[in-house]
Amino acid sequence: MSKIITPTVGRKVWYRPSESDFKGPIPMAVVKDQPLDATVIAVWGDRMVNVDVIDITGRHFPVLSCDLLQEGDEPNKDANGKTVGRYCEWMPYQLGQAKKEAA
């Protein structure tokens, strides 16, 4: 079984934007298939956080009640298997550190 990493305020995560992040008066700027930098600003549980996302131009976007995927979790998908919705996830380094700690 995978170890749950307990989120805390100030921790860094990768943010994966949704289609809606690219719409509106100030869309997020991204590089295709690369995550964005995000910092946890509030914790609702092991799988739900608020984050401050920074896009590739340095603009900040608060994202509230964002799914935080833990190791082994899969993002939401539509009927065609395409990922839908936004989410954040732990970086590979953090997952590795959690495995070392568990061992």
Residue 42 reports pLDDT greater than 70: yes
| Mean of pLDDT values over 12-41 | 93
Question: Measured between alpha carbons, how far apart are the two ends of the chain, in Å?
Answer: 12
The structure tokens listed for 47 are 């799988």
- Domain ranges in the chain are 12-75+83-102
Q: Which pLDDT score, from 0 to 100, does residue 103 have?
A: 77
Q: Which pLDDT score, from 0 to 100, does residue 96 have?
A: 85
Residue 2: band (very low, low, confident or very high) from pLDDT cuts 50, 70, 90: low
For residue 88, give the 3-state DSSP assignment.
strand
